[in-house]
Structure 1
Amino acid sequence: MKLLHKQIFFELLRLFGLTVSCLLGLILIGRMLQLRSLFLSQNIGFFNILQLFFFLMPFFLLLITPIATMLSVFLTFLRMSTDNELTALKANGVSLYKMLPAPILFCTLCTLFTFAISFWGLAWGMDMFKVKLYDFAKTHSKFALQPGVFNKEFPGITFYAHQVDNEKGELKFAFVRDESIKGTSVIVTAPEARIVSTPETAEVKVIFNKGKIFRQDGDELNILKFGTYSVKLDLGKLLGGFNFTEQKAKDMTFERLSEIRRMPSSAPSASPRFYRKVDTEYFKRLTLPLGCLILGLFAIPIAYVFRGLKQQYGLVMAMGLFLVYYSMFSIGVSMGESGSIPPIYGLWLPNILYVLIALLGIKYANEERTLPVVDWITHMKSKGGLST
């Protein structure tokens, strides 16, 4: 039995690694195109985008680990069923219950891994993503001023400096024209200026010293002298309106979500919708990792009773069953955030339903009984609905 459990466990691990790699690869291709379009006008390279994707991985792993766990268990037991290994083991007195320790251990490890991502990894990844995004926007973007070149990256604002020291952030003979206010043009000139960045708010200030302001409003022109004048810029505008400072529930740690639920006054926003999002995200962080264990157990009887299916058909069927689960989960999230139903009901329902089906299915599979729906599919297959 130790040898059997060891073989099943390592086959599960191999399939899990393959499934996660394939799913992350597909997501990477999609996100690369998305991030590339985001930085299309910036000097952001391939490896910079790859680094940003690395910090988004906890978010993706939280979503794909349950389906990877389910597919690994399903394909392992489907292969064993198709190759008649389950029949041979049954003939030698090894029931389905005796084979459960390996998949249960595997699913438990996947669940613990997903809980770690849910409680800590997700917030860490999003924080690092924002830090790196700010750093790239500040150091790699075209806003890094070039001497003698007019910069128009920010809508309605034009920058110019005759001499530029980007390392020290010092400008000589600086000029800025602000046309962001309709019908008004403001020109600021100064013999020197400096660039001051604020990572916490993702803002950059260009501070002019001892210059003049030319303000034209219609036919009226005003000229003012100043000692110090600053122009505030939001780097998020360079990135298609990305908001660095907004605190979203999905970016918070589980501890922070729990704190807001205990003390609503500590929330950054007092809107009822924000509290609903916090409540929904709290239960989402609890229920989604448990989906690894539940979907893994659910996959065992499904693979057992659908023996004889080719793996490509089994893969399509498993994906379809997962989509049903995830659709129910997504509906629970949407209804929880909108206030239609309490999040605790909407997010726990898919897990409860699938765990009941899993336990009933394992009992039927161990007794070698099939559900009526399985008999119907087998009958359709014999008529040519599915090719064997």
Structure 2
Amino acid sequence: MSILHRYWLKEFTRFFAIVQMLLLCIFLAVDYLSNMEKFLRSNFSLIQGLGYILLKIPFMFVQFTPAGVVLATIVVFSLMNRNNELLALKGSGVSVYHLLKPVVLVGVILAMTMIFLGETIVPYTMAKANHIRSSTLKKNKKIYATWENIWIRDGNKIIHINYFNPADNSISGITITSFGADFKIATRVDAENGRFDSGQWQLSNVLEQNNPGDEHNADIQFYDHKAFALDVEPADLKTVAKKTDQMSIQELKAYIHKIENEGYDATHYIVDFWAKIAFPIICLVMALVGAGAGMLSAAKENMPLGIALGIGVAFCYWVVHGFCTSLGYGGMIPPFLSAWTADLIFICLTTIFLVTVNV
């Protein structure tokens, strides 16, 4: 590695660390203060609350990394531009695009780092944080979840849900068991699917059994659709439902396979599976965007302009990525395309930008 490349990597590492520390400190302050009321209301000490926030740092580090990459790259190139270092390179016959080699290297390394954290540390810390949030901060004692099922205690009823789809707030494989005196089963309701509408769950393909424990007096009724008023809403289920940020890529792939084998719609999880693979690639794109923005002639005298351009590009990426994944959740475009469209668009735009930029 040349001296020039080592110099650039040293400067980038310094500014990237500063940017990431600032972003994480802002996140810690905002998230801690916004949750302080919940901590106090739940008899959760402020020290425990800080531990809860710290559990989310690995996940936020991954989320902030693309922004840190683009900002640090812009600052390094803008300073080199202002100090006429880029002009000196050009005058010496060395193309400034020679500096893109360490830029690409940084983008690849950070993308691999994001994947590594997403496969190891992030699932564990987010599972702990989500457990604290659902069981302690929200005091959601009536809802219990295992790896594959959701159990709900609602008065004298025990509700079992085999699958909750967070994309459309639908449930599948529902069993509602009501108990009478001496904890004897009074009724049992089995339904194929259900949706929440106007404060009630609208269940479809319903089988209702009254006094099923008495084989001679059991009254069985079938309904295409029937409404049930249960003390649980989709927002409650989302707090305990299996979340993709708690799973590695391999775990998510296995979970998708299980859901599909049971006949449920796994579109939401398939989109997130491809998004887990596609999202880290944006580190490379943002690094190249930052290089192009820092090389602009306008950035030589006006560094804030280059920084604003980089922030604007990063914001546009998150908007496009969020919009495309939403289309994927809704089944309007294939899951693979919904996860990779933003990356493909910005790779093309970044290539054009680098080719046309004037140093």
The normalised TM-score by structure 2 is 0.67
Instruction: State the partner residue of 1:67.
Output: 67
Looking at structure 2, the residues matched to 246 and 349 of structure 1 have their Cα atoms a distance apart, in angstroms, of: 27
Instruction: State the partner residue of 1:381.
Output: none
Larger Cα Rg: Structure 1 or Structure 2?
1
Cα distance change, pair 31–242 in 1 and its aligned pair in 2 (3 A): farther
Q: What is the CA-CA distance between 1:80 and the residue it aligns to?
A: 1.2
Instruction: State the partner residue of 2:242.
Output: 247
Superposed CA deviations along residues 358-379 of structure 1, whole A, max 9, x for unmatched, are 22333334xx47xxxxxxxxxx
Q: What is the CA-CA distance between 1:10 and the residue it aligns to?
A: 1.1
1:323 partnered with 2:318: no
SS in structure 2 of the partner of residue 339 of structure 1: coil
Looking at structure 1, the residues matched to 239 and 335 of structure 2 have their Cα atoms a distance apart, in angstroms, of: 28
8 Å CA contact 2:299, 2:306 repeated in 1: no
Q: What is the CA-CA distance between 1:33 and the residue it aligns to?
A: 2.2
SS in structure 2 of the partner of residue 122 of structure 1: helix
Within 5 Å, which residues of 2 pair with 1:1-388?
A: 2-130=2-130, 245-265=240-260, 271-272=264-265, 275-305=266-296, 306-365=298-357, 368=358
Looking at structure 2, the residues matched to 265 and 335 of structure 1 have their Cα atoms a distance apart, in angstroms, of: 20
Instruction: State the partner residue of 1:163.
Output: none
The residue type equivalent to 1:311 in the other structure is M
The number of residue pairs the alignment matches comes to 270
8 Å CA contact 2:293, 2:309 repeated in 1: no
Looking at structure 1, the residues matched to 301 and 277 of structure 2 have their Cα atoms a distance apart, in angstroms, of: 34
The normalised TM-score by structure 1 is 0.62
The residue type equivalent to 1:349 in the other structure is T
8 Å CA contact 1:71, 1:315 repeated in 2: yes
Instruction: State the partner residue of 1:164.
Output: none
The residue type equivalent to 1:293 in the other structure is L
Looking at structure 2, the residues matched to 244 and 320 of structure 1 have their Cα atoms a distance apart, in angstroms, of: 32
Superposed CA deviations along residues 185-214 of structure 1, whole A, max 9, x for unmatched, are xxxxxxxxxxxxxxxxxxxxxxxxxxxxxx
8 Å CA contact 2:293, 2:306 repeated in 1: no
8 Å CA contact 2:271, 2:338 repeated in 1: no
When structure 1 is superposed on structure 2, of 18-27 and 298-307 the one drifting more is 298-307
Q: What is the CA-CA distance between 1:131 and the residue it aligns to?
A: 5.2
Looking at structure 2, the residues matched to 3 and 154 of structure 1 have their Cα atoms a distance apart, in angstroms, of: 60
Superposed CA deviations along residues 331-385 of structure 1, whole A, max 9, x for unmatched, are 01211112121222222122112212222333334xx47xxxxxxxxxxxxxxxx
Looking at structure 2, the residues matched to 264 and 311 of structure 1 have their Cα atoms a distance apart, in angstroms, of: 50
8 Å CA contact 1:12, 1:76 repeated in 2: yes
Looking at structure 2, the residues matched to 130 and 301 of structure 1 have their Cα atoms a distance apart, in angstroms, of: 39
Structure 1: tracts of 5 or more residues without a match = 144-152, 156-179, 182-236, 370-388
8 Å CA contact 1:298, 1:355 repeated in 2: no
Cα distance change, pair 29–81 in 1 and its aligned pair in 2 (3 A): same
Looking at structure 2, the residues matched to 125 and 112 of structure 1 have their Cα atoms a distance apart, in angstroms, of: 19
Q: What is the CA-CA distance between 1:23 and the residue it aligns to?
A: 1.0
SS in structure 1 of the partner of residue 350 of structure 2: helix
Instruction: State the partner residue of 1:206.
Output: none
Looking at structure 1, the residues matched to 94 and 6 of structure 2 have their Cα atoms a distance apart, in angstroms, of: 15
Q: What is the CA-CA distance between 1:59 and the residue it aligns to?
A: 2.1
Structure 2: tracts of 5 or more residues without a match = 143-154, 157-231
The residue type equivalent to 2:346 in the other structure is Y
